[in-house]
Amino acid sequence: LKNMVDGLANTYQLYDPKMIAVSTTCMAEVIGDDLHSFIQNAKDEDSVPRDFDVPFAHTPAFVGSHVDGYDNMVKGILEHFWKGQERTQIEGTINIIPGFDGFCVGNNRELKRLLDVMGVSYTLIQDASDQFDTPSDGEYRM
């Protein structure tokens, strides 16, 4: 629990993120750690504000592959933000939720380029294409 409290606090203070997504590892799954309770306890100890978004997912490596873990995390994030919401339809726009893609930099950029050329309004969930171009020079930037 102390690692969760310290990890959330350090991440929140150092990076000033909009959310912190948490996933499990094999050992946490074997032990049976209660991730939801760990996050609540960390919030109770003020490592992050109580209303700060900390979506989570169970991602044991002994179940499926890294693709399954990725899908579980995306699902966990979407479910976290969907709670209490009602479905509304926005005319003339589409949502795109791509799966795990080792070539997302080129694929997402080309997908966005094509949609822009066609004049399609879209929301692309978990687009990491720009972050992968960030240089490793010791300076944090998103």
Spatial distance between the Cα atoms of 2 and 76, rounded to a whole number of angstroms: 23
- Which three-class secondary structure state does DSSP give residue 39? helix
DSSP class of residue 23 equals E
Catalytic, out of 5, 22, 26, 117: 26
Q: Which two tokens stand for residue 33?
A: 């750690």
26 is catalytic: yes
Task: Show Cβ contacts of residue 51 under 8 Å, excluding neighbours closer than 6 positions.
Answer: none
104 is catalytic: no
Spatial distance between the Cα atoms of 133 and 51, rounded to a whole number of angstroms: 32
Catalytic, out of 5, 30, 48, 117: 30
Known catalytic residues? 26, 30
